[in-house]
Chain A
Amino acid sequence: MTRRNIEGSFHLSGGDFTNAGAASSELKSILTNLGINPEIVRRAAIATFEAEMNVIIHAVAGVMYYLITQDTIKVVLNDMGPGIPDIDRAMTEGYSTAPDWIREMGWGAGMGLPNMKKNSDRFKLDSVVGEGTTVEIIIRIKEGKTE
């Protein structure tokens, strides 16, 4: 059975902890309703929620764009945030720049970016300090993760 590509986007507001997760939840519903394997949906939910939280925690605003094709789920998050000066360090599990009040909420454990990468088949992170960060998550629908 073939279906047309599905795409859309969500606006994310930095600091809006009340609605945090709404975009990822909606995307999860879309994927579930398409009948995509629950394990793939689970991985997409984890990766996109972590990416969404990073925008809420660190940026002023951002956009989460998604494209669902026959073979892949692609999610791109663009934010207007502080940018990441040292991407290698940011990818290290346990490293976080989140302030104390964020940590008290149970975020800022330095697991967000590694969680995104672990749950993606392809993960790309580009950042310009003072401008913002772009995260690209690709998850294969058909064959699942091979590693």
Chain B
Amino acid sequence: MNVQEIVDALSLEVKTAKGDLSRTVTGCYISDLLSDVMANAKEGEIWITLQTHPNVVAVASLKNLGGIIVTNRRSPEAETLQKAENEGVVIAVSPLSTFEVGGMLYKMLRC
């Protein structure tokens, strides 16, 4: 499954790196603690978080994650979007809660 398919299925709004949606997603990691993501997320996983500051881009980039989904109608900061665009990190947003987005992704990625 790639990022585009997840964007379509979850009706996400893609904010950055729109040219990088063909990337394969291997799983999902949910956390708002950045060190936890650094320690435990795996390459290719899509990351669901409430955090919107620029450090999320550094984490996603260093860990080579599949992309970031920001939930609960939160808007990433302008600096975050700029950084993500520069580094080719996909950030997509959803009005749904982390529970709802995570639940839908669980069903999609588990099969």
Contact = CB atoms under 8 A, between A and B. Distances in A.
Q: Do A and B come from one complex?
A: yes
Interface of A: 17-18, 20-22, 24-25, 28, 42, 45-46, 49-50, 53, 105-107, 109, 111-112, 115, 118
A112 B55 CA distance: 15
A27 to B, nearest CB: 10
Contacts of B39: 46, 111, 115, 118
12 contacts: A18-B54, A20-B54, A25-B58, A25-B62, A46-B63, A105-B51, A105-B55, A106-B33, A106-B34, A109-B33, A109-B34, A109-B35
A41 to B, nearest CB: 10
A20 B53 CA distance: 11
Given A107-B55, A111-B36, 14 more contacts: A28-B62, A42-B43, A42-B63, A45-B62, A45-B63, A46-B62, A105-B34, A105-B51, A105-B55, A106-B33, A107-B35, A111-B39, A112-B35, A115-B38
Contacts of B58: 20-22, 24-25, 49
A111 B33 CA distance: 9
B49 to A, nearest CB: 8
Contacts of B6: none
Given A18-B79, A20-B55, A115-B39, A107 B61 contact: no
Contacts of B53: 17, 105
Interface residues of B, number: 20
Interface of B: 32-36, 38-39, 43, 49, 51, 53-55, 57-59, 61-63, 79
A17 B63 CA distance: 18
Query: Which secondary structure dominates where chain B touches chain A?
Result: helix
B39 to A, nearest CB: 5
Given A17-B55, A20-B58, A49-B58, A109 B79 contact: no
Contacts of B62: 21, 24-25, 28, 45-46, 49
A106 B50 CA distance: 9
Nearest to A46: B38
Closest 6 CB pairs of A and B: A21-B58, A111-B35, A106-B34, A109-B33, A45-B62, A106-B51
